[in-house]
Every structure is written in C-alpha cells, then in structure tokens.
Amino acid sequence: MKVRITRDSERVITLADKWITDEIIGILRSENAKPYEQSIAHVASGTNSYFEILKFEAEIAKNRRICDRYFPGSADYDVWISMYAYNTFDGFYEIGCYLSDVWDICEDNHEEIKNHMYIGEYKRAVM
C-alpha cells in the first residue's frame, strides 16, 4: 500500500515525530490494499455487492481514538484512506476511513465502524 505524506499531513507531523511516520510508511509498503477495498465499500454501503474501485489513496493522519496501534511509540498516528467506489445498483460512494478501523471490521461491528467513516453516497434517481 502506498502511503503518502500530504500537505495536510505535514501540518500535524512534528519534526520529532517524523521517524514515526517513516516507520509506518515502511511497515505498510509491503501491505496489499486490495482486500481492504471491498471491505470498506461493503461497510459503507451496507451491501455485499461487488464495487469497482475508482480511486484508493492513503495518507498519514492523526486519530485520537488510538494509541500505539502500529508499534510501541507510534502514538496517535494512523493512516487515512480516501476512496471512490461505484456499483451499478448501489451507486457511487466517496468514502474516508482510518486503516485502524478497517483492521477492526468484523460481522458484529459494521454500524460502529460506519459511524467512524466519512461517507458521501450518490444514488441513481429512480424514475
């Protein structure tokens, strides 16, 4: 998974914490993002349909709900995922979520994870 440091990320990263973000990027470099794409789309849409993933980006961010999730000393740094997903039946979704929340997805907590996500839902008008 390619994780970037964006201009928004630079605003929250201190020089003293730069090693943390570099370490997180290194850990996730060999991680495959494909399994996450469909899981995120399923939780956001509430369906089990297959989605075409139009965009998938990951950037360093802060998440006050975690502490040392990636390794001891990683503090509240996390990875924010932005993606666009499309399905003919369910419509177009603009989704944002933290990678730490994606790791926590299981059958019992879809609604809780969905509450932590940003979801822009655009459905086709039925005439």
Tell me the per-residue pLDDT of 65-122, one tens digit each, with 9 for 90 and over.
Answer: 999 999 999 999 999 999 999 998 889 999 999 999 999 999 899 999 999 999 999 9
Of the pLDDT bands very low, low, confident and very high (cuts 50, 70, 90), residue 125 is low
Terminal-residue alpha carbon distance, the chain: 41
The pLDDT of residue 82 is 97
Domain ranges in the chain are: 3-122
Nearest CA among 56, 124, 47 for reference residue 91: 124
What pLDDT does 24 receive? 94
Identify the pLDDT of residue 126: 66
* SS3 state at 78: strand
Radius of gyration of the chain (CA): 15
pTM, two decimals, is 0.91
> What is the predicted pLDDT for the residue at 40?
95
Query: What's the pLDDT tens digit per position in 15-71?
Result: 999 999 999 999 999 889 888 999 999 999 998 999 999 999 999 999 999 999 999
Strand-by-strand arrangement of the 3-4 sheet: 3-4, 52-62, 77-87, 91-98, 118-122
Degrees (nearest 5) of the Cα angle 60, 65, 67? 75
Q: What percent of the chain has pLDDT over 70?
A: 98
